[in-house]
Amino acid sequence: MPDLAGRCGCGSVTWSAQAEPLWGAMCHCEDCRRVASSDYVSWLGLPRAAVVWSGPRKCYRSSEKVVRSFCEGCGSPLSFESEVFPDETHVYAVTLNDPGIYVPTAHIFWSERLPWVTVNDTLPKHAKGLQDAAAKGVSLLD
């Protein structure tokens, strides 16, 4: 099992997980872009029970079913948890101590991508996201 670990921008919040990553996907939805102030977000899905946090992490409910967290010191966004995926914590892949180990396998919410974002990979580009897929009982990610 890999020893995955990451940190916020100032380093005062750290996370670790002794687990295999569940999935990796780059999300282009507006919510992700706004919360991260980024053109899109590379998510790393982890088993929630395996993720251990330390430091001044602030959690808040960003919508009815979603709790997000960030570092109180530097404001770095850190995680996303949805009641739709009760066994998963989604962390920002670039918080990894070594982001180079991240392996994304798809783009999601491709239908909401910004017009000036271009990518030259050959990964699947799904129009919608994981919650829509879960509601339909299908998996977008292998």
Residues that bind Zn ion (CB under 5 A): 8, 10, 12, 27, 29, 32, 71, 73-74
User: Closest distance between Zn ion and the C-beta of residue 122, in Å?
Assistant: 21
User: Closest distance between Zn ion and the C-beta of residue 56, in Å?
Assistant: 8
* Whole-angstrom distance, CA of residue 77 vs CA of residue 91: 9
Closest CA to 69 of 135, 15, 140: 15
In the complex with Zn ion, which residue's Cβ is closer, 9 or 47? 9
Phi, psi of 44 (to 5 degrees): -120, 115
Other C-beta atoms closer than 10 Å to the C-beta of 121 total 10
In the complex with Zn ion, which residue's Cβ is closer, 17 or 80? 80
User: Closest distance between Zn ion and the C-beta of residue 142, in Å?
Assistant: 19
128 near 111, Cβ under 8 Å? Answer: yes
In the complex with Zn ion, which residue's Cβ is closer, 4 or 27? 27
